[in-house]
Structure 1
């Protein structure tokens, strides 16, 4: 009703009644469709790919709650979003789920373009672990700006390699980094800039953070202790096989 009230002529179709992309192509040609709006990223969105008409997506719920957990469907939905002009999420949690699952291609291109124009900034791809650790050892600090973390392996690796850590103050990071003890926690870009400058200007703070971080990893994240723990857990599983 909203669209028709604005003067648009609308054609409503159930995605379940449209079985193939070729059927969509015939419909677009027969009805001379100029644009499309799909409800459900997978069921509706996948049918609109590659037809040359602009389209938008309205997340349905099961696309983000269920289909996202199926690898093939997840890949298809990511490709749909690359072609979509926009996507509508009814809740903030749905928006966050989509942003976590699929990187915004337009934003990605903007970041890469800005990196090329910015002196002293390099964007690197994945690296073998040995090369990564060698690079980390030559860094002044490791920055973790994640919006969500479980337990950051990157932070623990940096501590183990005696590299100072600056991390966003979120629960996952704060569980590992104690502010001004094993690292520095920031809540916004301005605080990050202040703490980074402080770290550069205060060698004593850097030395203390590095020493505390290394000791923290040795005491609480020892790979030897972790190995023993997992070996014990697996033995408890073996003991229950014959029961």
Structure 2
């Protein structure tokens, strides 16, 4: 299949690289740019696409209902964990799957393991990063925790803010940086409309808009730990990337996180903000535990989240659409 329409949630997705590596031509489109299946049908006809992939069963799959070309659905995390709780979304997703089951042209698919490949920038400017975050560069014994997430409710980015700020007041070298896509900042401003008031009320907590992925990987490597405070997760790429970068992970103890983190073996799982602080302190005071965790986490990622295995899975999916 030479011409493939990739229906995704952002303008770049690793599946494009996987498929172009074997000669397919891919055209990526943002799901938020289309409202109904007829718009997608017109696009398919105009561009003469021969197959399609949709990332997320609801956001992408709903727009491919009634499609006259073969299509596959790649499940995400939000659709499985959150969208199913919404009656209308649940109904739509069920209809998409029913269509997939009854038609030879449809191929629902769930990758078992997210493939990870990290690429830290060699030219990343750490001093500028600290400056943009508002962190004094002369901070002695700086301990920087990094929370990587889109600022939306399911990620619960403000979960640790109060306890972190209280900790920072006692130990000024402790900082938390929350970094996420600009398109999601509406969540933050709805919860904290006065940004200046927020930053003065919560010292030690800093907010940054998204940066290029290779810079983000380089920043993570310079941080003490990567944090995940989500209410719900499918398979967190940020967690797996931190593991690959030899950075300790502290994650909220939810099913999606517990599925990829073994507590005190490949990372640390906390159940509330107070336990987060307790576990962070224990990690800071035990270099042996830190080394053991990052070593075992790296082995886990290499074994279970191979980029090559994910590439093969995507390529096999397309072959099934022929």
Provide the C-alpha distance between the structure 2 equivalents of 1:200 and 1:111, rounded to a whole number of angstroms: 30
In the superposition, relative to structure 1, how do residues 111 and 219 fare at CA in structure 2: closer, same or farther (>3 Å)? Answer: farther
Question: TM-score, with normalisation over the residues of structure 2?
Answer: 0.42
User: What do you get for the CA RMSD once the two structures are aligned?
Assistant: 2.8
The answer to whether residue 248 in structure 2 is matched with residue 164 in structure 1 is yes
The answer to whether residue 186 in structure 2 is matched with residue 140 in structure 1 is no
What is the match of residue 160 of structure 2? none
Deviation at 1:121, TM superposition (A): 2.8
Structure 2 counterpart SS, 1:122: strand
- For residues 12-27 of structure 1, the aligned pairs below 5 Å read none
| 1:167-211, Cα deviation, whole Å (9 max, x unpaired) | 000001001111001100000011111000000000001001101
The worse-fitting range, judged by mean Cα deviation, of 110-119 and 126-135 is: 110-119
Pairs aligned (count): 148
Question: TM-score, with normalisation over the residues of structure 1?
Answer: 0.55
What is the match of residue 127 of structure 1? 211
| Structure 2 runs not aligned, ≥5 long | 1-85, 92-151, 155-183
CA contact (8 A) 2:266 2:296 kept: yes
What is the match of residue 177 of structure 1? 261
Provide the C-alpha distance between the structure 2 equivalents of 1:237 and 1:105, rounded to a whole number of angstroms: 43
Structure 1 counterpart SS, 2:206: coil
Structure 1 counterpart SS, 2:192: helix
Q: 280, 288, 297: which is aligned to 1:204?
A: 288
Provide the C-alpha distance between the structure 2 equivalents of 1:131 and 1:237, rounded to a whole number of angstroms: 36
Task: Find the structure with the greater CA-based Rg.
Answer: 1
What is the match of residue 234 of structure 1? 318
CA contact (8 A) 1:160 1:217 kept: yes
**Structure with a larger share of its residues in helix:** 1
What is the match of residue 189 of structure 1? 273
Provide the C-alpha distance between the structure 1 equivalents of 2:295 and 2:223, rounded to a whole number of angstroms: 16
| Structure 1 runs not aligned, ≥5 long | 1-63, 70-97, 239-243
Provide the C-alpha distance between the structure 1 equivalents of 2:153 and 2:204, rounded to a whole number of angstroms: 28
